[in-house]
Protein backbone atom coordinates (compact mmCIF):
# COMPACT_ATOMS: atom_id res chain seq x y z
CA UNK A 1 0.00 0.00 0.00
CA UNK A 2 1.51 3.36 -0.96
CA UNK A 3 2.34 5.55 2.02
CA UNK A 4 0.52 8.73 1.11
CA UNK A 5 1.67 10.58 4.22
CA UNK A 6 5.32 9.92 3.45
CA UNK A 7 4.76 11.19 -0.06
CA UNK A 8 3.21 14.37 1.32
CA UNK A 9 6.07 14.95 3.77
CA UNK A 10 8.61 14.67 0.98
CA UNK A 11 6.58 16.95 -1.26
CA UNK A 12 6.44 19.57 1.50
CA UNK A 13 10.18 19.45 2.02
CA UNK A 14 11.01 19.56 -1.67
CA UNK A 15 8.35 21.87 -3.08
CA UNK A 16 6.68 23.97 -0.39
CA UNK A 17 9.40 24.55 2.19
CA UNK A 18 11.79 26.35 -0.19
CA UNK A 19 9.12 29.01 -0.74
CA UNK A 20 9.04 29.77 3.00
CA UNK A 21 12.58 28.89 3.97
CA UNK A 22 13.73 32.45 4.59
CA UNK A 23 10.64 33.22 6.65
CA UNK A 24 11.12 30.12 8.79
CA UNK A 25 14.76 31.04 9.30
CA UNK A 26 13.72 34.47 10.61
CA UNK A 27 11.15 32.87 12.88
CA UNK A 28 13.81 30.60 14.32
CA UNK A 29 16.42 33.36 14.70
CA UNK A 30 14.02 35.95 16.12
CA UNK A 31 11.51 33.61 17.74
CA UNK A 32 7.78 33.65 17.13
CA UNK A 33 5.76 36.78 17.74
CA UNK A 34 2.23 35.94 16.66
CA UNK A 35 -0.31 38.64 17.44
CA UNK A 36 -3.37 36.40 17.29
CA UNK A 37 -4.51 33.48 19.39
CA UNK A 38 -6.97 31.51 17.29
CA UNK A 39 -9.23 29.10 19.16
CA UNK A 40 -11.00 27.06 16.52
CA UNK A 41 -13.04 23.91 16.20
CA UNK A 42 -11.07 20.85 15.13
CA UNK A 43 -13.36 20.35 12.15
CA UNK A 44 -11.33 19.60 9.03
CA UNK A 45 -13.37 22.04 6.97
CA UNK A 46 -12.28 24.98 9.07
CA UNK A 47 -8.92 26.12 7.71
CA UNK A 48 -7.71 29.13 9.72
CA UNK A 49 -4.82 29.96 7.40
CA UNK A 50 -7.15 30.13 4.41
CA UNK A 51 -9.71 32.25 6.24
CA UNK A 52 -7.22 34.78 7.53
CA UNK A 53 -4.59 34.63 4.83
CA UNK A 54 -2.04 34.11 7.58
CA UNK A 55 1.39 32.68 6.99
CA UNK A 56 3.95 31.04 9.25
CA UNK A 57 4.41 32.78 12.57
CA UNK A 58 1.14 34.71 12.51
CA UNK A 59 -1.36 32.51 14.33
CA UNK A 60 -0.96 30.87 17.71
CA UNK A 61 -3.45 28.13 17.14
CA UNK A 62 -5.39 25.91 19.48
CA UNK A 63 -8.16 23.69 18.26
CA UNK A 64 -10.61 21.41 20.00
CA UNK A 65 -14.04 19.94 19.50
CA UNK A 66 -16.49 22.83 19.02
CA UNK A 67 -13.94 25.60 19.83
CA UNK A 68 -14.66 25.60 23.56
CA UNK A 69 -12.92 27.39 26.41
CA UNK A 70 -12.61 25.59 29.76
CA UNK A 71 -13.55 27.54 32.87
CA UNK A 72 -10.87 29.33 34.81
CA UNK A 73 -11.91 27.84 38.12
CA UNK A 74 -8.71 27.49 40.08
CA UNK A 75 -8.19 23.88 39.09
CA UNK A 76 -4.93 23.12 37.35
CA UNK A 77 -5.35 19.91 35.45
CA UNK A 78 -4.60 18.67 31.97
CA UNK A 79 -6.38 21.57 30.37
CA UNK A 80 -4.63 21.95 27.02
CA UNK A 81 -6.77 24.81 25.85
CA UNK A 82 -6.42 26.69 29.13
CA UNK A 83 -2.65 26.21 28.96
CA UNK A 84 -2.61 27.61 25.44
CA UNK A 85 -4.61 30.65 26.52
CA UNK A 86 -2.22 31.29 29.41
CA UNK A 87 0.82 30.88 27.17
CA UNK A 88 -0.61 32.96 24.33
CA UNK A 89 -1.54 35.83 26.58
CA UNK A 90 1.22 35.80 29.19
CA UNK A 91 4.22 34.65 27.15
CA UNK A 92 3.36 35.78 23.64
CA UNK A 93 1.33 38.84 24.62
CA UNK A 94 -1.11 38.37 21.74
CA UNK A 95 -3.27 41.34 20.81
CA UNK A 96 -6.30 39.40 19.62
CA UNK A 97 -8.14 36.23 20.58
CA UNK A 98 -10.49 34.76 17.99
CA UNK A 99 -13.02 32.10 18.94
CA UNK A 100 -14.11 30.47 15.69
CA UNK A 101 -16.98 28.03 15.43
CA UNK A 102 -18.72 27.07 12.22
CA UNK A 103 -21.79 25.75 10.47
CA UNK A 104 -22.56 22.00 10.56
CA UNK A 105 -20.52 21.56 13.73
CA UNK A 106 -20.71 17.95 14.87
CA UNK A 107 -19.80 18.92 18.43
CA UNK A 108 -22.69 21.33 18.66
CA UNK A 109 -25.08 18.87 17.04
CA UNK A 110 -24.06 16.32 19.67
CA UNK A 111 -25.55 18.63 22.31
CA UNK A 112 -28.91 17.40 21.01
CA UNK A 113 -28.09 13.86 19.95
CA UNK A 114 -25.73 12.71 22.67
CA UNK A 115 -22.31 11.12 22.29
CA UNK A 116 -21.23 7.46 22.30
CA UNK A 117 -20.94 5.83 25.72
CA UNK A 118 -17.32 5.02 24.94
CA UNK A 119 -16.50 8.75 24.79
CA UNK A 120 -16.80 10.04 28.37
CA UNK A 121 -14.21 12.76 27.77
CA UNK A 122 -16.12 14.05 24.79
CA UNK A 123 -19.36 14.07 26.77
CA UNK A 124 -17.74 16.00 29.61
CA UNK A 125 -16.07 18.41 27.20
CA UNK A 126 -19.32 19.30 25.47
CA UNK A 127 -20.81 20.35 28.78
CA UNK A 128 -18.85 23.55 28.18
CA UNK A 129 -21.40 24.39 25.48
CA UNK A 130 -24.49 23.04 27.23
CA UNK A 131 -25.73 26.50 28.11
CA UNK A 132 -26.01 27.28 24.41
CA UNK A 133 -28.51 24.48 23.81
CA UNK A 134 -32.04 25.55 22.94
CA UNK A 135 -35.08 23.77 24.34
CA UNK A 136 -36.09 21.73 21.32
CA UNK A 137 -36.00 17.97 20.80
CA UNK A 138 -35.29 17.94 17.07
CA UNK A 139 -33.02 20.82 16.08
CA UNK A 140 -33.40 22.11 12.54
CA UNK A 141 -30.72 24.04 10.66
CA UNK A 142 -31.77 27.38 12.17
CA UNK A 143 -31.65 26.05 15.75
CA UNK A 144 -28.26 24.52 15.11
CA UNK A 145 -26.94 27.77 13.67
CA UNK A 146 -28.20 29.72 16.64
CA UNK A 147 -26.73 27.16 19.02
CA UNK A 148 -23.37 27.35 17.27
CA UNK A 149 -23.38 31.13 17.57
CA UNK A 150 -24.53 31.13 21.18
CA UNK A 151 -21.75 28.70 22.03
CA UNK A 152 -19.19 31.10 20.55
CA UNK A 153 -20.44 33.96 22.70
CA UNK A 154 -20.39 31.73 25.78
CA UNK A 155 -16.71 31.02 25.18
CA UNK A 156 -15.96 34.73 24.80
CA UNK A 157 -17.62 35.31 28.14
CA UNK A 158 -15.68 32.48 29.71
CA UNK A 159 -12.44 33.95 28.37
CA UNK A 160 -13.18 37.03 30.42
CA UNK A 161 -12.92 34.89 33.56
CA UNK A 162 -9.23 34.40 32.84
CA UNK A 163 -7.59 37.15 34.90
CA UNK A 164 -4.82 37.77 32.37
CA UNK A 165 -7.41 38.13 29.61
CA UNK A 166 -9.75 40.40 31.54
CA UNK A 167 -6.90 42.61 32.69
CA UNK A 168 -5.62 43.14 29.15
CA UNK A 169 -9.06 43.62 27.61
CA UNK A 170 -9.92 46.24 30.19
CA UNK A 171 -6.62 47.98 29.46
CA UNK A 172 -7.44 47.90 25.71
CA UNK A 173 -4.35 45.79 25.04
CA UNK A 174 -6.31 42.76 23.88
CA UNK A 175 -9.45 42.36 21.80
CA UNK A 176 -11.79 39.40 21.59
CA UNK A 177 -13.45 38.31 18.36
CA UNK A 178 -16.31 35.83 17.94
CA UNK A 179 -16.48 34.23 14.50
CA UNK A 180 -19.00 31.83 12.98
CA UNK A 181 -17.76 30.41 9.70
CA UNK A 182 -20.42 29.28 7.25
CA UNK A 183 -18.63 26.59 5.31
CA UNK A 184 -20.92 26.49 2.30
CA UNK A 185 -20.83 30.25 1.81
CA UNK A 186 -17.16 30.80 2.52
CA UNK A 187 -18.17 33.63 4.79
CA UNK A 188 -17.33 34.37 8.38
CA UNK A 189 -20.07 36.03 10.41
CA UNK A 190 -18.52 38.19 13.09
CA UNK A 191 -20.06 38.86 16.45
CA UNK A 192 -21.13 42.45 16.97
CA UNK A 193 -21.72 43.28 20.60
CA UNK A 194 -23.63 46.47 19.77
CA UNK A 195 -26.19 44.56 17.72
CA UNK A 196 -26.02 41.48 19.91
CA UNK A 197 -25.81 39.33 16.79
CA UNK A 198 -23.51 37.91 14.15
CA UNK A 199 -22.99 39.95 10.98
CA UNK A 200 -21.52 38.66 7.69
CA UNK A 201 -17.98 39.98 7.33
CA UNK A 202 -18.95 41.35 3.91
CA UNK A 203 -21.36 43.75 5.63
CA UNK A 204 -19.47 44.36 8.86
CA UNK A 205 -17.38 47.40 9.66
CA UNK A 206 -15.09 45.41 11.94
CA UNK A 207 -13.67 41.93 12.39
CA UNK A 208 -15.84 41.11 15.36
CA UNK A 209 -16.13 42.20 18.93
CA UNK A 210 -16.13 40.35 22.15
CA UNK A 211 -17.81 41.77 25.20
CA UNK A 212 -15.64 44.82 24.70
CA UNK A 213 -14.70 46.84 21.68
CA UNK A 214 -11.40 46.01 19.95
CA UNK A 215 -8.27 47.50 21.38
CA UNK A 216 -6.88 50.48 19.51
CA UNK A 217 -3.64 52.13 20.52
CA UNK A 218 -5.13 55.59 20.83
CA UNK A 219 -8.54 54.52 22.09
CA UNK A 220 -9.55 55.68 25.54
CA UNK A 221 -10.11 52.94 28.04
CA UNK A 222 -13.74 52.16 28.61
CA UNK A 223 -15.01 52.69 32.10
CA UNK A 224 -18.48 51.41 31.58
CA UNK A 225 -17.56 48.22 29.79
CA UNK A 226 -18.55 45.98 32.62
CA UNK A 227 -22.04 47.32 32.34
CA UNK A 228 -22.36 46.69 28.60
CA UNK A 229 -20.83 43.27 28.95
CA UNK A 230 -23.28 42.23 31.60
CA UNK A 231 -26.19 43.71 29.68
CA UNK A 232 -25.17 41.63 26.71
CA UNK A 233 -24.92 38.50 28.83
CA UNK A 234 -28.38 39.08 30.18
CA UNK A 235 -29.99 39.71 26.79
CA UNK A 236 -28.42 36.67 25.15
CA UNK A 237 -28.69 34.19 27.96
CA UNK A 238 -30.22 30.80 27.39
CA UNK A 239 -33.70 31.89 28.33
CA UNK A 240 -34.01 34.86 26.00
CA UNK A 241 -32.30 33.90 22.74
Shortest Cβ 66–Zn ion spacing (Å): 5
Q: Dihedral angle at the C-alpha atoms of 211, 217, 220, 223, nearest 10 degrees?
A: 30
Tell the smallest beta-carbon distance from residue 21 to Zn ion (Å). Answer: 34
Contact predicate 48/39, CB 8 Å: no
Site string for Zn ion, 91-110 (x = CB under 5 A): --------------x-x---
DSSP state letters, 166-201: HHHHHTTS-EEEEEEEETTTTEEEEEETTTTEEEEG
Options 43, 70, 154, 155; binder of Zn ion; rule CB under 5 A: 43
Candidate segments 3-11, 41-49, 73-81, 83-91, binder of Zn ion by CB under 5 A: 41-49
Give the strand pairing for 187-192 and 197-200: antiparallel
Residue 111 in contact with Zn ion, rule: CB under 5 A:
no
| Cβ pair 11, 34 in contact under 8 A | no
Count residues contacting Zn ion (CB under 5 A)?
Answer: 4
Q: Which is nearer to Zn ion, 43 or 58 (CB)?
A: 43
3-state helix, strand, coil in the chain (%, to 5): 45, 15, 40
Closest-CA residue to 40 (of 58, 59, 56): 59
Q: Of the candidates 37, 41, 98, 190, which one interacts with Zn ion according to CB under 5 A?
A: 41
The reply on whether position 151 binds Zn ion by CB under 5 A is no
Residue 148 interacts with Zn ion (CB under 5 A): yes or no: no
Please identify, using beta-carbon distances, which residue of 102 and 166 lies nearer to Zn ion. Answer: 102
Residue 141 Cβ, how far from Zn ion at the closest point, in Å? Answer: 15
Binding site residues, Zn ion, CB under 5 A: 41, 43, 105, 107
Amino acid sequence: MPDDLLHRLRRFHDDAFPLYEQRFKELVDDGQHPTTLFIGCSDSRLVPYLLTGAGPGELFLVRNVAALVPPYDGSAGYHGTAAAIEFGVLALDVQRIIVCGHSHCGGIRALYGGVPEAAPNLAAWLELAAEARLPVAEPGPEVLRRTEQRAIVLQLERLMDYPMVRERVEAARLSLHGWHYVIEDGEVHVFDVQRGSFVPASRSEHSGTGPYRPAEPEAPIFNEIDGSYRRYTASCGPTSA
